[in-house]
Amino acid sequence: MKFEIAPNVHWVGKIDWELRKFHGEEYSTHRGSSYNAYLVRDDKTALIDTVWRPFAEEFVANLAGEIDLHKIDYIIAHHAEMDHSGALPELMRHIPDKPIYCTANGVKSLKGHYHADWNFQVVKTGDKLSLGGKDLVFVEAMMLHWPDSMMTYLTGDAILFSNDAFGQHIASENMFNDLVVQSELFEEATKYYANILTPFSPLVTKKINEVVALNLPVNAICPSHGVIWRDNPMQIAQKYLQWAADYQENQITVIYDTMWDGTRMLAENIAKGIRQQDERVTVKLCNIARSDINDVVTEVFKSKAILLGSPTINKGILNAVSALLEMITGLRFKNKKAAAFGCYGWSGESVNILGDHLSRAGFEVVQEGLKALWQPNGDALAQAVAFGRDFAGKV
Ligand code: FEO
C-alpha cells in the first residue's frame, strides 16, 4: 500500500493496527500506530526512514514492488530508534553500498544497534542533497527526542519530514489529518507530546522558532508515526508551541491508589471540596492502579494542579503510585501545583513521602498533606472536603 503526498512523494511505510504497547511496555497505543517511510523521486530517488524490525521483510518486499531497489540513490536515516531503522539491515542486504545520510550521532547509534559499517554520510543543519530539480535540506533536531534526531525539508514540494516530532500513535487507513476523527487525532497527539516530548519542551520551542524564522512554505508535515498533516500543516507546530510553554488547562486531577477504600473516600471528598470552591474547574479522579499510566500522565500534562494519594504500606507508598511518580519525575513538568493525601493505621509515612517526591519532581506543593487515621468517616471526610476547597482556592 502507498499514499501519495505529492505526485513524486509517496508514503511506503507500515500501518500496525495490532500494536498496543510501544517502547517495550512503556507506552500504551490503544489505537495502534504506523511506521512511516517515504519515497521521494526526482532525477535521483531518496528513501526516508524505514519501519520496525518485525515488518522488515514485508517492507522491503513492498518497496521492491514500488521501485527497483537498485534505483534508490540515497537513504535518509532520521533517527536510529528501531521503529524507524529496524528494516535497514534487510534493505542493506539488497543494496549494501547505497549511502545513508544521517547525523554524526546517527552514525554512532546506527552502528551501536546494527554493528554494520554501511556507507554513512554525515550531515548537519543546512546541508543540501540535490535530487536534480529539488533538494533535500537537513535540519538537525538533537534531543527531539534522541541525540541523533533530524528532519528533512524537500524544496519545491515544500514538505517537512519531521520524524518523531508531530507524530501520533494512530493506525489509520486514511493517512491524512483531514480524513480522520479530529478529537482522536488531537487526543493522540497530546498524549504523544505529554509522554515523549515534555522533557524537551525548551528545545521544541527553539527548534520550531528556528524553522519558522526561515519563512519556508510548508505544504505538508510528514511525521514518522500516524497521519500526515496536509490540511493547515502548521497547526500542529502551533500546538507544539502551546504545549511547550508549560501547558495547562483549568483542570485538577486527583490521582490515588487505595487498599480498603479509605484513600478513595478521601479522594472523592477532596473532589467534592474542589467543586464547592470552583464549579468551573474540570476535576478528574484516577485510580492509578486501575488506569493506563500514559493516559494518567496525559491528564497530569493538562492539569494546573494534581493531588496524589496513597495509604501507608510498610512505611512507604503503593507501587502503582511509585511508578507514576517515577514517570512524572523524568518528564520534568513545570508550572504545576500539588498536594498529597492518604490513610494510615500505624506509622503514616505515605503523605510525607508523596509530598517530598512531588517537590523533587518539580511540583509546587502548596499545602501540608492530608492524613487520615484508619477508615475516614465523619470529621475525617469533612476535613477532606475542606482540604479540597483550600487546595482549589490556592491553585
Ligand atoms: Fe518513533 Fe524515537 O522513535
Cβ proximity of 369 and 341 under 8 Å: yes
Residue nearest ligand 1's atom 3 by CA: 81
Q: Catalytic site residue 79? A: yes
Neighbours of 70 (CB within 10 A): 10
Q: Is the peptide bond before 145 cis (omega within 30 degrees of 0)?
A: yes
Span from the CA of 278 to the centroid of ligand 1 (angstroms) = 40
Q: One of 164, 188, 257, 299 is an active-site residue; which one? A: 164
Span from the CA of 77 to the centroid of ligand 1 (angstroms) = 12
pLDDT of res. 388: 98
Alpha carbon of 146 to those of 33, 290, 317: distances in Å? 20, 31, 33
Q: Which residues contact 376 (CB under 8 A, 6 or more apart)?
A: 262, 265, 266, 269, 343, 384
pLDDT of res. 166: 97
Helices within 245-377 (DSSP H only):
262-277, 293-302, 319-331, 350-360
Q: Catalytic site residue 225? A: yes
What residue ranges of the chain have pLDDT lower than 50?
none
Burial class (CB in 10 A: 0-12, 13-18, 19+), 95: middle
- Of the candidates 302, 113, 107, 144, the residue with the CA atom closest to the CA atom of residue 223: 144
Architecture of domain 3-244: 4-Layer Sandwich (3.60)
Span from the CA of 313 to the centroid of ligand 1 (angstroms) = 37
Q: Catalytic site residue 192? A: yes
Cβ proximity of 170 and 180 under 8 Å: yes
Q: Catalytic site residue 145? A: yes
- Of the candidates 255, 181, 188, the residue with the CA atom closest to the CA atom of residue 19: 188
Span from the CA of 81 to the centroid of ligand 1 (angstroms) = 5
pLDDT of res. 214: 87
Residue nearest ligand 1's atom 2 by CA: 81
3-class DSSP state of 84: helix
**pTM score, whole prediction:** 0.96
Span from the CA of 353 to the centroid of ligand 1 (angstroms) = 34
In the CATH hierarchy, which fold is given to the domain comprising 252-390? Answer: Rossmann fold (3.40.50)
Q: How far apart are the first and last CA of the chain?
A: 51
Rounded to 5°, angle at Cα 333 from 332 and 336? 145
DSSP assignments along 33-70, one per residue = EEE--EEEESSSEEEE----GGGHHHHHHHHHHHS-GG
Q: Provide residues with CB under 6 Å of ligand 1.
A: 79, 81, 83-84, 145-146, 164, 224-225
- Of the candidates 9, 2, 35, the residue with the CA atom closest to the CA atom of residue 152: 9
Rounded distance, CA 322 to CA 266, Å?
19
Cβ proximity of 349 and 240 under 8 Å: no
CATH 3.60.15.10 range(s) for the chain read: 3-244
pLDDT of res. 275: 98
Classify 377 in phi/psi space as left (phi over 0), alpha (psi -120 to 50) or beta.
beta
Alpha carbon of 251 to those of 54, 313, 388: distances in Å? 40, 29, 13
Rounded distance, CA 266 to CA 307, Å?
11
Backbone angles phi, psi at 372, to 5 degrees: -130, 125
Rounded distance, CA 18 to CA 23, Å?
15
CATH 3.40.50.360 range(s) for the chain read: 252-390
pLDDT of res. 140: 96
Q: Catalytic site residue 357? A: no
Alpha carbon of 321 to those of 95, 206, 275, 290, 365: distances in Å? 49, 33, 24, 11, 17
Q: One of 49, 73, 83, 90 is an active-site residue; which one? A: 83
Interval 113-123: pLDDT, tens: 999 999 999 99
Q: Catalytic site residue 81? A: yes
